[in-house]
Chains A and B, each alone.
Chain A
Amino acid sequence: MSDWNVAQGERWLVLGPSGCGKTTLLHVIAGLIRPTEGEVFVSETDLRKLDGAQLDRWRGSTVGIVLQALHLVRHLSVRDNLRLAQYMARAPQDDARIAETLGVLGVADKAARRPADLSEGERQRVAIARAVVNRPKLLLADEPTANLDDAAAARAVDLLVDQATRGGATLVVATHDARVKAKFSNTLQL
């Protein structure tokens, strides 16, 4: 893969068929796996220079990830799923921030519910809320529209773009979904 430069605040789409390494690329950017060769810099930070614990801390404070299967913690309430993000990132546990984030994403009234009680669209919003609650500088989303119909897919992308814009975060979305293309000016084809 050739060099790829992304400026802070840009919105990028990583395109490619299933199994071409989009997820792997996202995991490398998030510091979840170390590349066998090459370098990764995220806003001046050379990920190779961070040891395991530093990398975890860096990820917690800098990166927000929306996973393809969402993976909300089933037995925790929506509010506690967001609190889990604050706790694991060693950020202060801030109920006001949680309420604000849920409010912006339109699921404030679901705060006390379990993920199972929510619709798929609501769960998606909660997953996005969990990814942005710590105000990440880098927001990653892996196939955010995979199981959604056109309208829901459009809404999900809008939400991601909106959230990234609000926080001044760089947004990188990996997808094979052609419907998403229109919203992004920058694309990386794998």
Chain B
Amino acid sequence: MNLATLSASYLRARPLNTALSLLLLALGVGTIVLLVLVVNQLEERMHRDARGIDLVVGAKGSPMQLILSGIYHVDAPTGNIPLAAAQALQKNRFVKKAIPLALGDGWKGYRIVGAGHDYPEHYGAKLAAGRLWEKPMEVVLGAEVAARTGVGVGARFAGSHGVTGQGEEHGAAPYTVVGILGKNVSVLDRLVLTGIESVWQVHEEEHGPQDEEDRKALEEDREVTVLLVQYASPLAAATLPRQINSKTELQAASPAYETARLFRIVGVGVEALRAFAVVLILAAGLSVFIALYTALEERRYDLAVMRTLGASPSRLFGLLVMEGLVLTLLGAALGLVLGHVFTAGLGAWLEAQQQYPVSGLELRVDELWLVAIALAVGLVAALLPAWRAYRTDVSRTLAQG
């Protein structure tokens, strides 16, 4: 027997009160864990996906949409830009690296991205099987795409218009899988990569049988969707976006700025949820306080008896404080587990939706803070009841009955 086991026996003696306190605290802590995990993981993933990309250039429209479609591939593109304009920009002296992407088709909900080999190279991707695409209509699958579709090298499939998987199928132009990327923990995991020529070919074939003149006209009209730009020098940040936005029919958007803006918008919701969780934790503290305080009345004989058995008043104080601490520690631990289970559940759902992946297995230092805060709440909630226990008048209590 020690203070902790004795406290625990009192907690077990009033299971409903204990369960309520645990539930409130676990929900509060769990919600905050969920927020911390999801927000931080998303932020990290988004920063990783945007690494080395200073500017995204595409058609006019919403700059955030341009970023979401150009880097993260979670939104529809703003439109296309002429290949010639993109090529001109690649020669700009402020531009160190410009990766053109052509978006269009999807397959089973995954986006097919037409790009050069410089695109996977930018993310340091490594092949897990096969080779990179060389000819039109050859594709390389991202790790997650391969894992979830179960498709291997040598397989053939037809893309569909749009990414949802419900558009019409381009039956005439089947793709061949020639390689599979290893897990890269980046946006590449969820993409099907192919040469830009493949995307052009798919859409040019849609125009049916062509003569030489048509083909030439189509070739002149060739377009890309976005250009991922890396600056040649910090100086470029001051000039290049303005140059592009004012002088051309193109639009330039900064991933750093747009993602910061996105998180500010999302942040309102996150803050509201966090406030709700804090209210839950405070309610848990109140519940602990009420449980301990009301139980004092029926426990005063127990406390007096403990004094007759040799317990000092400070021991009774310690017993009550320990009860608050044991309760909140259990609640916090339960909340951590709950938070991770929530996150894992959300992660599984997001993965099924082919959205940004979130892992419930990650642990964060912030969680230790949560435990510390929960313990502080338990301590504060137990102080007044503990003080009353400390002040127990043994002789008078026993004389009463």
| B257-272 vs A, Cβ < 8 Å mask (1 yes, 0 no) | 0000000000000000
Asked if A53 and B301 make an inter-chain contact with CB atoms under 8 angstroms apart, the answer reads: no
Q: Chain B contacts of A73 at CB under 8 A?
A: 302, 305
Asked if A24 and B301 make an inter-chain contact with CB atoms under 8 angstroms apart, the answer reads: no
Residue of B nearest to A91 (CB): B310
| B299-324 vs A, Cβ < 8 Å mask (1 yes, 0 no) | 00110111111111111000000000
B399 in the interface (beta carbon within 8 A): yes
Q: Given contacts A67-B305, A76-B9, A84-B1, is CB(A56)–CB(B311) below 8 Å?
A: yes
CB distance from B154 to the nearest CB of A (A): 69
B64 in the interface (beta carbon within 8 A): no
Q: Chain A contacts of B305 at CB under 8 A?
A: 67, 71, 73
B365 in the interface (beta carbon within 8 A): no
CB distance from A89 to the nearest CB of B (A): 4
> Of B13, B306, B394, which one neighbours A88 at CB under 8 angstroms?
B306
Asked if A27 and B309 make an inter-chain contact with CB atoms under 8 angstroms apart, the answer reads: no
B387 in the interface (beta carbon within 8 A): no
Q: Chain B contacts of A32 at CB under 8 A?
A: 307-308, 394-395, 398
Asked if B395 and A65 make an inter-chain contact with CB atoms under 8 angstroms apart, the answer reads: no
B208 in the interface (beta carbon within 8 A): no
B148 in the interface (beta carbon within 8 A): no
> Of B6, B301, B394, which one neighbours A84 at CB under 8 angstroms?
B6
A69 to B399, CA, bound (A): 10
**Which residues of chain A from 9 to 24 have a CB within 8 Å of any chain B CB?**
23-24
Q: Given contacts A23-B399, A32-B394, A67-B398, is CB(A80)–CB(B9) below 8 Å?
A: yes
A93 to B1, CA, bound (A): 8
Asked if B1 and A27 make an inter-chain contact with CB atoms under 8 angstroms apart, the answer reads: no
A65 to B394, CA, bound (A): 13
A188 in the interface (beta carbon within 8 A): no
A184 in the interface (beta carbon within 8 A): no
| B1-24 vs A, Cβ < 8 Å mask (1 yes, 0 no) | 110001001101100000000000
> Of A30, A74, A84, which one neighbours B306 at CB under 8 angstroms?
A84
A73 to B1, CA, bound (A): 14
| A30-41 vs B, Cβ < 8 Å mask (1 yes, 0 no) | 101100000000
B209 in the interface (beta carbon within 8 A): no
B401 in the interface (beta carbon within 8 A): yes
> Of A33, A60, A67, A93, which one neighbours B310 at CB under 8 angstroms?
A60
- Scoring B309, B395, B401 by chain A CB atoms within 10 A of each residue's CB, the highest score goes to B309
Q: Chain A contacts of B398 at CB under 8 A?
A: 23, 27, 32, 67, 71, 142
Asked if A87 and B1 make an inter-chain contact with CB atoms under 8 angstroms apart, the answer reads: yes
| A59-97 vs B, Cβ < 8 Å mask (1 yes, 0 no) | 111010101010101111000100111111110010000
**Which residues of chain B from 344 to 382 have a CB within 8 Å of any chain A CB?**
none
| B320-336 vs A, Cβ < 8 Å mask (1 yes, 0 no) | 00000000000000000
Asked if B308 and A59 make an inter-chain contact with CB atoms under 8 angstroms apart, the answer reads: yes
A53 to B401, CA, bound (A): 25
A57 in the interface (beta carbon within 8 A): yes
A30 to B399, CA, bound (A): 14
Q: Chain A contacts of B399 at CB under 8 A?
A: 23-24, 27
Q: Given contacts A32-B395, A67-B305, A75-B13, is CB(A59)–CB(B401) below 8 Å?
A: no
Residue of A nearest to B298 (CB): A74
CB distance from B285 to the nearest CB of A (A): 24
Q: Chain B contacts of A59 at CB under 8 A?
A: 308, 310
Asked if A56 and B312 make an inter-chain contact with CB atoms under 8 angstroms apart, the answer reads: yes
A85 to B302, CA, bound (A): 12
Residue of A nearest to B299 (CB): A73
Asked if A75 and B12 make an inter-chain contact with CB atoms under 8 angstroms apart, the answer reads: yes
A83 to B9, CA, bound (A): 13
Asked if B309 and A89 make an inter-chain contact with CB atoms under 8 angstroms apart, the answer reads: yes
A91 to B274, CA, bound (A): 48
CB distance from A30 to the nearest CB of B (A): 7
Q: Given contacts A23-B399, A33-B395, A67-B398, is CB(A60)–CB(B309) below 8 Å?
A: yes
A121 in the interface (beta carbon within 8 A): no
Q: Chain A contacts of B6 at CB under 8 A?
A: 84, 87
A106 in the interface (beta carbon within 8 A): no
CB distance from B146 to the nearest CB of A (A): 59
Asked if A53 and B312 make an inter-chain contact with CB atoms under 8 angstroms apart, the answer reads: yes
Q: Given contacts A23-B399, A27-B395, is CB(A71)–CB(B1) below 8 Å?
A: no
A97 to B315, CA, bound (A): 24
Asked if A61 and B310 make an inter-chain contact with CB atoms under 8 angstroms apart, the answer reads: yes
A52 in the interface (beta carbon within 8 A): yes
Residue of A nearest to B306 (CB): A88
* 11 A-B residue pairings within 8 Å (CB atoms): A30-B308, A32-B308, A32-B394, A33-B395, A59-B310, A60-B311, A80-B9, A84-B309, A87-B6, A88-B315, A130-B309
Question: Top 8 A-B pairs ranked by shortest CB distance?
Answer: A60-B310, A75-B13, A88-B309, A89-B310, A88-B311, A56-B312, A33-B395, A27-B395
Chain A residues within CB distance 8 Å of chain B: 23-24, 27, 30, 32-33, 52-53, 56-57, 59-61, 63, 65, 67, 69, 71, 73-76, 80, 83-90, 93, 130, 142
Q: A27-B398, A71-B304, A88-B309 are in contact. List 16 more A-B contacts (CB 8 A).
A: A24-B395, A33-B395, A52-B313, A60-B309, A60-B311, A65-B308, A67-B305, A67-B398, A69-B301, A71-B301, A71-B398, A75-B12, A80-B9, A86-B1, A89-B310, A130-B309
